[in-house]
Amino acid sequence: MRTALATGLAALAAAGLVGVYALLGGGDYAPRAVANPCDPRPFQVTRALGGLTERLALSALDGAACDLRISRERLVLALRDRRLPGSPSRARRDAAVRRGLHRAVADARRAGRIGGLAAVALDTTIDVLPVRPLLDRLLRSG
């Protein structure tokens, strides 16, 4: 008897949960639209260095994707799988990533997350270092 009561209460709770989910709009799920990488996004980060690094990476991807006129998601796929149909060439991708990195530095500077001297040092480093080893390392770790 006790087991039947517990089972009945569990079924009632599950039905109630499904009902609340449906009332709150859970039955009308629609995926979010892919954001335009050329549109500015807020440069919000946590105090941790990892948060700044993540925001810089996302901003750089947005900049590169905007330069290539593709979505950020499509760019990530193109960087991962070089045989992806319609992927930009390696040289074009690398140049776009370099420009995207410059955009990320500018975004961080505007947001007050890095100072002027750090921005100059990062921009100079971006101009001097080859992009391909950086991309290869990032893609191996992801």
pLDDT confidence of residue 123: 93
pTM: predicted TM-score of the whole model, two decimal places: 0.69
Residues 72 and 120 in one domain: yes
Residues 7 and 54 in one domain: no
Q: Other C-beta atoms within 10 Å of 72: how many? A: 20
Task: Specify if 37 maps to a domain.
Answer: no
pLDDT confidence of residue 47: 64
- Collapsing DSSP states into helix, strand and coil, what is residue 18? helix
Token digits for 127? 């101009």
Cα 103 from Cα 99, distance rounded (Å): 6
Token digits for 134? 């950086």
Residues 7 and 74 in one domain: no
Task: Specify if 136 maps to a domain.
Answer: yes
Domain that residue 82 falls in: 49-141
pLDDT along the chain (142 residues), means of 10: 75 78 71 84 69 83 90 83 71 87 92 90 90 71 50
pLDDT confidence of residue 140: 64
pLDDT confidence of residue 41: 81
